Amino acid sequence: MSANLDKAPTWPQARFLSLSQTLLGFSLQVKIFGLVVGSLVLLGTWVSFHTRTTLQVSLTQQLDDRAISISRDLSARSTDLILTNNAFTLHQLARDTLENNKDVRYVFILDSWGRILAHTFGDHFPEGLLEANSAAPQQRYHLEVISTEEGLIHDVAVPVFEGKAGMVRVGLSEKGIQQVLNDATRDGILATAFFALLGTLAGFLLTRILTRPLQELVEVARAVGSGDWRRKARIYAPDETGLLAEAINEMTDKLAHAQEVRSQLLKKVISAQEEERQRLARELHDETSQSLTALILGLKALGDSTPGEQVKARTGELRDQVSRTLEEVRHLALELRPSTLDDAGLAAAIRRYILDYSHKCHLDVDLHITGLEEKRLDWEIETALYRIIQEALTNVARHSGGQNVSVVLEGREDSITAIVEDDGQGFNVEETLSAAPRQQLGLFGMKERAALIGGTLTLESSPGKGTTVFVKIPL
């Protein structure tokens, strides 16, 4: 018995996978830029937090030490004054201690019975402060942190003369510490922002330096993919990107050489094919057509010289059948290699072909030829354009389902343009071209013929909106 152990990812896992896919979807430039700036911001934030925490601990300890020192000094100086009941000097000592130490918030002195002998609060002594801290006679001091409306107060109680004379209480505020911490935090934030700005500039320059060769390699790869074998990648430095550029250039050279060899072989194959077509067409026209013509004449003579209506009717049927065969042979010869293309040129051959095409396929073809009336082109260009237009019109008759076709052939000083457009059902160009090549031999053959003579062929079509074949051949 087997169990399916595959489990659907939990919500955190799905969230993590989604976030990972989102981050991986960014470009390399954004990733490097984000890594540099993010690292600087995180580092600056951590340094600011760590500095604030360390500084707070240090300053708090220093404040406690100062509070203890001030309290013990005040205890030693007030011993004789308490024993002699010198209240005025005690008040003066408390005020001097408050004025000479900026962090001291208050000072008050108690007698052995806990009664207040001197304090720095003026007329109103805070309620509950007296009970907030106390030190036993055997203690050197006792520190208590009190939370007040003004913030935290570090209150230190020190016995006077081991508690026999009384007690001194001194309270130091943390406002100074908070001010220093706030200033340090502000400086840290400003420093982080400054270095983040520098990091932004450095990250921008770094990403430009690192990604520019990669972007150029992408452009070279796309150009090579579109057939531009002459495009080369620039080598910026002898690093990994430079090695990759060298490898791409070597690959491009090999592909260009292989493409050149392939083009030469394909040209030879097409030339041999056209020559064989021409030879077969000539044989069909000269030999087979003459033999069939002679057979027709012989049948006519036989019918005329032979008595009997049945024999004459039979020879007439045979003569009609041979005549149809002769017409088919002539049409086959024209399809193989029209003599008009060799004798009169591309414009005349296209006119003759479209005339027969319209009659045979029952389609209305609108033909416009300009700039080629008295102009002969290279044999390869005329043959390629004729075959491309022939294949395009054949596709219209077989697959388009349209009723109207437009053919434009325009000759200029630097180029020849051919356009075949129909109002048929159309198709999805990308899906059709991405199918197996053997299923689209006609379209790929048209593209190959155009490319072999240095031209381009563009297909424009969409379902229900017809098809346009655009061919441009530079001269």
Q: What is the pLDDT of residues 208-243, one digit of tens each?
A: 777 777 778 788 888 777 767 677 777 777 777 778
Residue 130 resides in a domain: yes
Q: Is it the case that residue 360 has pLDDT exceeding 80?
A: yes
CB atoms within 10 A of CB 426: 19
Instruction: Evaluate whether 377 touches 346 at the Cβ level (below 8 Å).
Output: yes
Examine the domain organization and report whether 245 and 205 are in the same domain. no
Examine the domain organization and report whether 309 and 232 are in the same domain. yes
Find, among 388, 394, 393, 407, the residue nearest to 449 by Cα: 388
Distance separating alpha carbons of residues 234 and 413, to the nearest angstrom: 35
**284 or 222, higher pLDDT:** 222
Which position has the token pair 């706030």? 182
Examine the domain organization and report whether 31 and 167 are in the same domain. yes
- Of the three residues 320, 337, 354, the one that is the final residue of a domain is 337
Average pLDDT for residues 244-260, to the nearest whole number?
78
Average pLDDT for residues 184-190, to the nearest whole number?
86
Residue 4 resides in a domain: no
Residue 15 resides in a domain: no
Q: Is it the case that residue 247 has pLDDT exceeding 70?
A: yes
Q: pLDDT tier at 154 (50, 70, 90 boundaries)?
A: very high
Examine the domain organization and report whether 391 and 264 are in the same domain. no
- Residues with Cβ within 8 Å of residue 63, at least 6 apart in sequence: 103, 154, 172, 174, 176, 177
Residue 252 resides in a domain: yes
CATH number of the domain bearing residue 440 = 3.30.565.10
Q: In Å, how far are 18, 288, 398 from 11, measured between CA atoms?
A: 10, 81, 55
Examine the domain organization and report whether 103 and 218 are in the same domain. yes
* Residue 51: predicted pLDDT: 86
> Which residue(s) pair with 411 in the sheet?
416
Instruction: Evaluate whether 145 touches 152 at the Cβ level (below 8 Å).
Output: yes
* Residue 1: predicted pLDDT: 39
Examine the domain organization and report whether 46 and 164 are in the same domain. yes
* Residue 293: predicted pLDDT: 75
Examine the domain organization and report whether 287 and 403 are in the same domain. no
* Residue 72: predicted pLDDT: 92
Examine the domain organization and report whether 356 and 250 are in the same domain. no
Distance separating alpha carbons of residues 70 and 58, to the nearest angstrom: 18
- Of the three residues 304, 337, 370, the one that is the final residue of a domain is 337
Distance spanning both ends of the chain, measured CA to CA: 75
- Of the three residues 287, 322, 337, the one that is the final residue of a domain is 337
Question: pTM above the 0.85 mark?
Answer: no
3 state SS for 76-128: HHHHHHHHCCCHHHHHHHHHHHHHHCCCEEEEEEEECCCCEEEECCCCCCCCC
**400 or 154, higher pLDDT:** 154
Residue 413 resides in a domain: yes
Distance separating alpha carbons of residues 6 and 450, to the nearest angstrom: 54
Report which DSSP code applies to 396.
Answer: I
Examine the domain organization and report whether 321 and 383 are in the same domain. no
Tokens coding 311: 């024999």
Examine the domain organization and report whether 353 and 276 are in the same domain. no
Residue 108 resides in a domain: yes
Task: Give the domain extent around 136.
Answer: 20-224
**169 phi and psi angles, rounded to 5 deg:** -120, 125
- Residues with Cβ within 8 Å of residue 306, at least 6 apart in sequence: 312, 315
Give Cα 254 to chain centroid, integer Å. Answer: 29
**173 phi and psi angles, rounded to 5 deg:** -85, 150
Instruction: Evaluate whether 349 touches 341 at the Cβ level (below 8 Å).
Output: yes
* Residue 5: predicted pLDDT: 43
Residue 3 resides in a domain: no
CATH number of the domain bearing residue 169 = 3.30.450.20
Which position has the token pair 């090549």? 437
**106 phi and psi angles, rounded to 5 deg:** -155, 160
Distance separating alpha carbons of residues 115 and 109, to the nearest angstrom: 8
Distance separating alpha carbons of residues 267 and 452, to the nearest angstrom: 7
Which position has the token pair 């270095």? 195
Average pLDDT for residues 335-359, to the nearest whole number?
80
Q: 211-215, 263-267, 388-392: which has the minimum mean pLDDT?
A: 263-267
Q: Is it the case that residue 462 has pLDDT exceeding 90?
A: no
Distance separating alpha carbons of residues 245 and 216, to the nearest angstrom: 9
Examine the domain organization and report whether 278 and 317 are in the same domain. yes
Examine the domain organization and report whether 89 and 179 are in the same domain. yes
* Residue 104: predicted pLDDT: 92
* Residue 145: predicted pLDDT: 92
Residue 1 resides in a domain: no
pLDDT digits (tens, 9 = 90+) for 296-333: 777 777 777 777 677 777 777 777 787 777 777 767 76
Looking at the structure of the chain, the number of domains it has is: 3
* Residue 26: predicted pLDDT: 64
Average pLDDT for residues 45-64, to the nearest whole number?
89
Give the pairing type, strands 104-111 and 116-119.
antiparallel
Q: Is it the case that residue 465 has pLDDT exceeding 50?
A: yes
